[in-house]
Amino acid sequence: MRQKQAGGMADKFISIRNVKFLLFEVFDLLSLSKYPYFSQHNQKMYNLVLDAAMKMSTRLLHPIFEEMDRNPPELVAGQVKVHPAVAGIMKEFGQGGWISATFPAESGGEQLPSMIANACFAMFFAANYSAGVYPGLTAGAARLIDSFGNETLRKIFLGKMFSGQWQGTMALTEPQAGSSLTDIATTAFPTDDGFYKIRGRKTFISAGDHDGAENIVHLMLARIDGAPAGAKGISLFAVPKMRLNADGILAFNDITVSQIFHKMGYRGAPIAELSIGDKDDCRGYLLGEPHRGLACMFQMMNEERIGVGLGAASIASAAYYAALNYCRQRPQGRKLTEKDPSSPQVPIIEHPDVKRMLLFQRAVVEGSLSLLMQCSQYEDMTRVVLPPEKNRYRLLLELLTPVAKTYASEMGIQSTSQSIQCFGGYGYCQDFPVEQHFRDMRIHPIHEGTTGIQGMDLLGRKVVMENGKAFVLFMEEIQSAMNTARKFPGLLSLADQLDKAVKQLQDVTFQLAAVAQEKGLEIFLADATLYLEFFGIVTVAWQWLLQSISLQKAQAEELSASEADFYQGKLFTARYFFAYELPRINGLAQRLTDGNPLTVEMKSCYFSD
C-alpha cells in the first residue's frame, strides 16, 4: 500500500456523476435555455463541454500536480520562472475558450452560464489547483477590462488575454495595507497623454510575474495624486508589465519583481512582490471613473471569492477521492464482533469511524460544491432577468458570496485533514497526494479576504444592506425548499430540523441587531466570524435539503444498481450532515447570544505572558 497510486480509480479527483447531479438535477441548468441570452446551449453541448474539461484536467493538469509542487517558481535575474508546462496550459485554456467562457459573444466570449463554467473550473482545480489559477485570474481581470475599459483598451487587452497569451492579475495588496484597502498608497500621476504614471509597491500578487505568458496585465488599485484619503480616493487601472508602443511593439513598462514568496502549499503558482515605476516610467490606464476603483474592483473580487471557494471545495474533493480509494483497498483490523484473530482483516472502509470520516469529507465537498453552484445560478439569473427580479438574485449572490467562500475554505482544512487521517501515517508522507492537498488548502481562508474580513462583510454589510432585504430573500429561499421537501415523507424530519435551525439563525440575527443598536458597532461585530460559521452551516444544510429533494425525485424512478447506490449515498450524506454537522450551531448560538463582550474587554497587555 505504500506505492504511489497510479492509473484508473486511484487518480479520481472529482465525481462527474455528482457534477451532473448538481447541474442538471438540482439546479436545472437546461432551464436557462429558455432565456434568449443562453438559448443557443443544449444538453448535448453541455455534455461536450464537460467532457472537454475533464479530458483537459486528466491529461494536461493532473499529471503534473505533484511536479509543480516539487519544483516551485524561482526568481532568476528579475524574471519569475515557472514550470515549463504553464505556457502550454495557458494556450490550451485560451484555445479551448475557457478563459472567455462566460463572456458575451459580442466581447468575443462563449456566452456560457457560470454554472457550467464553474463546474469545469471545479475539475481543473481538483486536478491541479495551482494550474487552474493562471487562467482563472486572467478571466477575472479580463472581465474588469470588458466592463470598465474603453474600446481601445478592450481591443488591446481582451484578445490576448482570452487566448492565454497574456496573464491577468488582481493587484490590491500592499506591504503596509493587507486587509486594509483604504490604506493603499500606490499613486497614479495624471499625464496629458491619456495614461497615468504609476508608482508604488504591491505584494502577494498571484501569478504576478511568470515566463509562461508573454505579458502580465495587472488590474491595480492606486490613488490618483491628490485624491481624498480612504476608500473614496481609490481608482482602478490596467497596468501591464509590457506596454504596447505606437508601433505595436511590446516595451518594458517599469514593473519589477522585488521578491517571490516561498509558500507552504499552492506552490505551482508564483506569488510576487512588485516594485512599480522605480524609473518613473510605468504607464497605467484608468478603468471606470476616478476614485470609484474599489467598487469596480469588487466585481472581480466577488468573482474571485467564488473562485476561492470553488478551489477549496475542489481540493477537498481530490483529497476525498484519494482517501476513499485508500480506505477501500487497505485491509486493517476486523469487525468488533469478530473474535477470531486469525480471520482475514477487512478493508478499513468497513469500520464505522472510517465511514464517518468519509461521510464528513463527502458532506463538505458536495455541500460546498452545491452552494457554489447555487451562487453560480444566481449569477446566471442576474444576466437574464430584468429589474426588480434581477435585484433579487444580485442580493442573494452578494449575501452568499462570503458564506460560500468561507465555508468551503475553513471546512476544507478540516476535510483534507480527515483525508490524511484516513491514510494514517501514509497520509503524512509525500508518496500520497493528500499532504499536498492539505498544504494547498491552507491559503484559502486567507487570500481574497480573510475569514475575519468575510465575517464582517456578512454581518456588518450584507445582512443589514437595504434594510435586511437580502436576508429576507434568503429566508424565502429556504422556506420554499422546506415547503417542497415536506411533500416527501422521507424528508419531513430533515425539513423540521432545518426549520428549527433557521429560526435559531433568525433569533441570533435579531438579537445581534439589537446589540448593534444598544452597544455599538464594535461589540456587534466582535464575533462576526462565529456568526459566519453559524450562517454557513445553516446554508449548507439548506443545500443538502435541496439535494435531498432531487434525489427523492430520482429514487421514484427505476434505477440501475450503481445509480441506486449513488442516490443512497447522497441520502446518507444528507442525513450525516443533519445528524453530525447541523447540531454544531447550538454551541455557536449559545455563544453569539450570551452577551459577554469578552474579546472587546480583553486588553492587549493581558497577553503579557
DSSP code for 283: E
Q: Catalytic residues, which ones?
A: 448
Among 118, 529, 539, 543, binds a second copy (CB under 8 A): 529
Smaller CB separation from a second copy, 150 or 599? 599
Burial class from Cβ neighbours inside 10 Å (0-12, 13-18, 19+) for residue 112 reads: buried
> For a second copy, what does the binding mask look like between residues 347 and 366, x meaning CB under 8 A?
x-xxxxxxxx-xx--x----
> For a second copy, what does the binding mask look like between residues 429 and 468, x meaning CB under 8 A?
xxx---x--xx--xx-xxx--xxx--xx------------
How near is the Cβ of 1 to a second copy at its closest, in Å? 7
Distance between CA atoms of 47 and 42, rounded to whole angstroms? Answer: 9
Using CB under 8 A as the binding rule, whether residue 126 contacts a second copy is answered as no
Please list the residues that pair with 255 across neighbouring strands.
276
DSSP code for 462: I
Q: Are 182 and 230 in contact (CB under 8 A)?
A: yes
Using CB under 8 A as the binding rule, whether residue 518 contacts a second copy is answered as no
- Three-class secondary structure assignment of 161-181: HHCCCEEEEEECCECCECCCH
Distance between CA atoms of 73 and 116, rounded to whole angstroms? Answer: 31
Using CB under 8 A as the binding rule, whether residue 560 contacts a second copy is answered as no
Using CB under 8 A as the binding rule, whether residue 328 contacts a second copy is answered as yes
CA distance to 181, 424, 437, per residue, from 330 (Å): 50, 11, 20
Smaller CB separation from a second copy, 233 or 240? 233
Placement of cell 479520481 in the chain: 12
DSSP code for 347: B
Among 230, 252, 507, 514, binds a second copy (CB under 8 A): 230
Residue range at the interface with a second copy (CB under 8 A); choices 192-200, 217-225, 288-296, 601-609: 601-609
Among 175, 185, 278, 553, binds a second copy (CB under 8 A): 175
Smaller CB separation from a second copy, 357 or 381? 357
Residue range at the interface with a second copy (CB under 8 A); choices 60-68, 151-159, 283-291, 582-590: 582-590
Q: Are 145 and 153 in contact (CB under 8 A)?
A: yes
Among 43, 176, 480, 506, binds a second copy (CB under 8 A): 176
Placement of cell 479551448 in the chain: 96
Smaller CB separation from a second copy, 177 or 242? 177
How near is the Cβ of 428 to a second copy at its closest, in Å? 5
Restricted to residues 265-324, the positions that interact with a second copy (CB under 8 A) are 265-266, 271, 324
- Give exposure, 260-296, as e/b (b: 16+ Cβ within 10 Å): beebebbbbbbbbbbbbbeeeebbbbbbbebbebbeb
Among 35, 189, 488, 572, binds a second copy (CB under 8 A): 572
Using CB under 8 A as the binding rule, whether residue 576 contacts a second copy is answered as yes
Q: Are 233 and 184 in contact (CB under 8 A)?
A: no
Using CB under 8 A as the binding rule, whether residue 332 contacts a second copy is answered as yes
- The x, y and z cell numbers of residue 340, run together, are 477470531
Smaller CB separation from a second copy, 326 or 393? 326
